[in-house]
Structure 1
């Protein structure tokens, strides 16, 4: 098909810029289409999202790019890197391999007209239509796969649940699958990430025009040929933060962006990041677990949010999966282990292990009990009933395991049971797993969005303590978040708290600890301010996933933790029998 659009030809690709795709209501979205030199029919790999298909990765995110290619220079090999785009695949590594690559600006973003409404049902309807459009083009063999990071991953879950006929496989690479629990409200506590994130997207709203960046390969505006006034731009976007604030419970507002797991029939390669607490980690693991694991594979890695998507390790996994399901290659993927983990070691190192299930079949769940007086974690319940109080927004209480005498591994889901009372009608609990070296110095890890991430994190607002008995598992409490149940002042309550999955191999003389507080975790060591350039946010421990705007009067009232026979506060940890690493 000859597009009525700007075309460029390289040694390995035919590129068509701003190809129009008309939606059901007449709105026109724009796509960049990268095709092999030879005429023919190819499977298509697609992204649809807000970040601007014409923006150059190296220019817009120079710090993350520099860190990534310094650590992994292989990323730059075999490519001119002219067409690198934030969190999407490099066409020079895919198109010569026999794929068509399609990048689409979402409605109201980049070069696509319309009202911008991130993470909305409207976007998913558009995505469905785009998949069907691509699948029926003369250059497509009828098969469409989805491949992208973050925003380009999260909406894959939703559109796959609608079962577009031409969709054949998806690779949601670090993509949330529960917007309420994993993005907007952590344990019922509002996360303010979206507030800061939205401000960073203003320069790529459709109509920003001449004020925005240029596509380095075309010289055209990344955010559309039309330049609108600030008033017009404001009218053309939905106030997402206001909507989120107006829906603090998991109500009907979220129905349109709730994944229908059983409806996802296509093969799935879901990839997570151990350092992704606060957004994507939980979603990718749920995406493997929720659908009965039929035709689903889970991979979990480390480093920054985007890094392994571009490394030889990541691209090889992506190609083997997609070649098998989009091209029908007999490449051994059908015998690939269902679970592939890069288990986390000290010093930001990793060692691979594989399995056929999650949690890992060789997991022994061990309950460690809190001792309020000694501030320890032990395998036996303290006989005496004890308690300790703290000021939630000012203080924290840390409970330490004994230093380990031999190397141990903890990999899998984590849960806690904490008995508390409050001097106010509510309380926010922030639970953090931390690691300390033999000298007592805290050991951080390179997280997805923070250079000083802890081992694991979990959250719960006490008034959201109601559990869903059908979905709750011993190692994964599942809260309904559909009702607020205020606390009676001074009354003791049992709270079940989900701590997001983790992996850590602990050497001898190191010490694992659980910190309980009412505020965001902050790394106890010195902060290297230069790391901000690599992550785009201050690396104090939580990256952009902060929880502000909370009432001092309600959420800073004294909270008391109870331990002992009558109140067996505890944490459930997934110890691994070291079969593969021995």
Structure 2
């Protein structure tokens, strides 16, 4: 019996695994432009739920070819990822159809406007893209083999735009799984605490323009379909540049949280669809904060938060992660009574110093039983203490060096910290501004630092936070003691030599600290650097030196006359600088 065909496909085939594939299906947008999609579906008649992704990474570029070292690490460390699949349809940060189509799902991959085989001007995360994604969802929901329920599932870019499109409330959207996806384009990605992050400037030429539409024969070829990944048309360098909005330049020209970022940041009050937000404890610099914020601020009455570790991409593909996604989507897209309705709202992988994890269910975020504990800085002793020091003291540091260090411990007993952190610091600067880089570190009794394989960097510290002192203004409605929220809507220069009170957000973390270990807070004027050797990923420009690609070294954003000087931290007396820790009793 012939299957119902989707109009306009380049060609079709049925695999030995009974997956019916339609390559390069056209989807018409409201302005007449045709986007291109690959459709993987069961080779049988019926109506099935749809999982759809929309993004710029090239639907025809194999994971193994475009992201060689990432694939090799995952395949080596997690054999369950490659088991049960030929892996020939693996594609960066989206589901493997060989593991989803047999479970009666339709998997659709759409090349976003200007990317892969979809023509047009690429304007990353823009309102234009979000409208395109909305229309793709509605197209998918009305296909003759769709059951009318569409889900969104993907990592990073394919997660971030889920927040945006969900706020538009497309009628056929039934559930979203935001896997490591930032939700605030200013605070999560472009400017950490108001300090420009250079990630986007390096990411675009490494991962985006390499698969931009119009590269023709200069781009790769899909070994499965035989099609050119970047379209058949060959555009000139000038035409390619004209077809790409320079987001890095926009970030540099817009240092405050204005319309550039608001266009890309969703209205959380309009996100009402069932939501599974999954974050990575090691995602410092991108996503981690956004998954937590998106979960907490979204208006959905049916929402869940899951937190894990390991590399950025691994758990999405492991049996642990895939089975979690399946349970969620089987419930909301197929209506299965599979126990998901009884799933606790929070599932945490509790992290230990040996890089092992223990899954634990919770009822809230932050955890209701959290004992919010202040550790006070003492500049004279270089310590953190539960008791505020009575005597005033201060310590200055050169912002080009390793900063000031404050230590607590050794811990008398095993202690768990899980949740968001914050610091209140009283500081003065020798210049009219100061960038504060806060690093929470843990050391063994032998003095070895406890670091983890983060989302990207293999030597990620326990927690980090950032603040540009001239961005110290707080939003009183959104701020919490454990999560100060800065408006980033005006610059308030410092008067050199004057002491200012600063509240610094430190991104969430989780760690069970054994007895005998020491906790340390570094207050620095530059990025954390792990003292060991750097590592490299094939799709990243920066060497991995502790912060991965999320560094803050743009000379225009950080001119020497403002950010190279002396910063002094004041403690004790009337200036009780402190670190706020989320201690979980009974660890």
Query: Shorter-chain TM-score: which interval?
Result: over 0.9
Could you give the per-residue CA deviations for residues 477-498 of structure 1, whole angstroms, max 9, x where no partner exists?
Answer: 0000001000111111000000
TM-score, scaled to structure 1: 0.98
Partner of 1:554 in structure 2? 562
1:312 aligns with 2:319: yes
Residues 490-517 of structure 1 deviation map (CA, whole Å, 9 limit, x = unaligned): 1110000000000011112111111000
**Aligned residue-pair number:** 577
How far off is 1:288 after superposition?
Answer: 1.2
1:308-457 to 2 correspondence within 5 Å?
A: 308-457=315-464
Matched, 1:119 2:125: yes
1:461-480 Cα deviation digits (max 9, x unpaired): 00000000000001000000
Aligned to 1:515: 522
Structure 2: where are the runs of 5+ without partners? none
Contact 2:534 2:543 (C-alpha < 8 Å) held by counterparts = no
| TM-score, scaled to structure 2 | 0.97
- Note if 1:4 corresponds to 2:8: yes
Q: Name the CA distance, whole Å, in 2 between partners of 1:536 and 1:331.
A: 44
Matched, 1:301 2:308: yes
- 1:245 is aligned to 2:280: no
1:372–1:562 contact (8 Å) kept in structure 2: yes
- Rounded to whole Å, the distance in 1 between the matches of 2:300 and 2:424 is 28
- Report the Cα offset of residue 544 of structure 1: 0.3
In 1, Cα distance between equivalents of 2:262 and 2:537: 36
**Kept in 2: contact 1:449–1:537 (CA 8 A):** no
Aligned to 2:263, the other structure's residue is in SS state helix
Q: Is the CA contact 2:274–2:300 (under 8 Å) kept in the aligned structure 1? A: no
CA distance in 2, matches of 1:293, 1:350: 29
Any idea what the Cα deviations from partners look like across 1:78-134, whole Å, max 9, x if unmatched?
A: 111110000000001101101100000000000001001112111101000000011
The alignment status of 1:539 with 2:541, answered yes or no, reads no
> What displacement does 1:7 show?
0.7
Q: State the Cα distance separating 1:292 from its structure 2 match.
A: 5.3
Write the distance in 1 (CA, Å) between the matches of 2:85 and 2:450. Answer: 37
After TM superposition, the structure 1 = structure 2 runs for residues 141-290 of structure 1, keeping only pairs within 5 Å, are 141-200=147-206, 201-290=208-297
**2:583 alignment counterpart:** 575
| Offset, 1:528 | 5.4
Instruction: After TM superposition, give the deviation of residue 541 of structure 1 in Å.
Output: 0.5
Separation (CA, whole Å) in 2 of partners of 1:149 and 1:130:
18
User: Would the alpha carbon gap of residues 476 and 284 (structure 1) be closer, same or farther in structure 2, given more than 3 Å must change?
Assistant: same
Query: Secondary structure at 2:291's aligned position in 1?
Result: helix
1:101 paired residue number: 107
* In structure 1, C-alpha distance between the alignment counterparts of 2:302 and 2:269, rounded to whole Å: 12
Q: Secondary structure at the match of 1:257?
A: coil
CA positional deviation for 1:272 = 0.0
Task: Quote the Cα distance in structure 2 between the aligned partners of 1:313 and 1:273.
Answer: 14
Shift of 1:231: 1.3
Task: Tell me, yes or no, if structure 1 residue 28 matches structure 2 residue 67.
Answer: no
Q: Is the 8 A contact 2:426 2:500 kept in 1?
A: yes
Whole-angstrom distance in 2 between the partners of 1:288 and 1:202: 32
Instruction: Name the SS of the counterpart of 1:131 in structure 2.
Output: helix
Matched-pair contact (CA < 8 Å) for 1:64–1:535: no
| Distance (Å, rounded) in 2 between the aligned partners of 1:202 and 1:552 | 32
1:14-49 alpha-carbon deviations (Å, 9 max, x no partner): 000110001111111000000101111111000000
In 1, the alpha carbon distance for the partners of 2:442 and 2:417 equals 12
- Do 2:459 and 2:530's aligned partners in 1 also have CA atoms closer than 8 Å? yes
Query: Which structure 2 residues correspond to residues 42-81 of structure 1 after superposition, within 5 A?
Result: 42-81=48-87
**Change in 2 beyond 3 A, CA 1:312/1:534:** farther
Aligned counterparts of 2:29 and 2:539: Cα–Cα separation in 1: 38
Shift of 1:362: 2.0
Cα displacement (A) at 1:533: 5.6
> How big is each residue's C-alpha offset from its partner over 1:404-458, in whole Å with a ceiling of 9 and x where there is no partner?
1221110000000000001111000000111111111212111001000000010
**1:209, 1:149 → 2: CA distance?**
27
